[in-house]
Amino acid sequence: MRYLVISDIHSNLEALQTALAAAPEHDFVLNLGDVVGYGASPNEVVKIAKELNGPIVRGNHDKACSGLGDTFGFNAVADRAVSWTVETLTPENRDWVRRLEHGPVNIPQFAGGQCVHGSPIDEDDYLLSSAAAFEAFRDDKTQLTFYGHTHVQGGYVLRNGYVEQVRPKYTTATNEETWEMPLQDDGRYLINPGSIGQPRDGDWRAGFALFDSEAKVVKFYRVPYPVEVAQHRILAAELPEYLAVRLRTGR
């Protein structure tokens, strides 16, 4: 099976359309949440997300933007984006977002794999360090977990008792690029495909991954997209300017 793995679209229509057009053939789409929040195209993005073939786990912004949970821990910019998204989502789309599943969710037709938003332990945890990854590996024995939430492409491998961080290596800042990571049978993996719509790893290009379960390879992608169109939409919607600026810096 070939799985397209996407996460943290954050209402960025231009990034999502570009990523889907660039994605190779696949059997399922694994969507790791934060479909909405921050960007200016929540209804358009939900329309596309509904039609993708595969599981979707909810993210913290999906919860906040659909009236589930509160915005405790959100900064003023995120809070403003949540209010705007709550007002902008159609009632039908808000209801669809509210019904997204709590992770972990199993990867279809693959034994030993799961999808989460934050971590296998808590959907709102951030896996931002080897120490956090080690705790997750200790408390959850699943061999392969796809996670999002950090907006940082890469992940962690546990092998022989040690955790190693993985970051794809690219050679340009503007071209479409890929980076392959073969999976070893004696390793356990926490893998983040990157953020489609608001990367925070210093690379503005939309990030996603393809998991080939027969070849046992995860291929990471970065694709340039019309970022200025997404920025213009944010400014036209009178969302905070910072949300437009950060799309270009990837921070």
Among residues 188 and 201, whose Cβ is nearest to Fe ion? Answer: 201
Among residues 32 and 136, whose Cβ is nearest to Fe ion? Answer: 32
Among residues 132 and 158, whose Cβ is nearest to Fe ion? Answer: 132
For residue 126, the minimal CB distance to Fe ion (Å) is 10
Handedness of CA 148, 246, 233, 226 (dihedral sign): negative
Kindly state the tokens that stand for 186.
Answer: 């004696």
Give, for 3, the enclosing helix (H) or strand (E): strand 2-6
For residue 14, the minimal CB distance to Fe ion (Å) is 17
Q: In what order do the strands lie in the sheet with 177-182?
A: 28-31, 2-6, 206-212, 217-223, 177-182
Residue ranges binding Fe ion (CB under 5 A)? 8, 34
For residue 171, the minimal CB distance to Fe ion (Å) is 27
For residue 111, the minimal CB distance to Fe ion (Å) is 28
Among residues 110 and 126, whose Cβ is nearest to Fe ion? Answer: 126
Kindly state the tokens that stand for 210.
Answer: 């393809």
Q: Give the whole-angstrom CA distance, residue 87 versus residue 98.
A: 14
Q: Which of 210, 220, 208 is nearest to 15 (CA)?
A: 208
Q: Please identify the residue of the shown chain whose CB is closest to the bound Fe ion.
A: 34
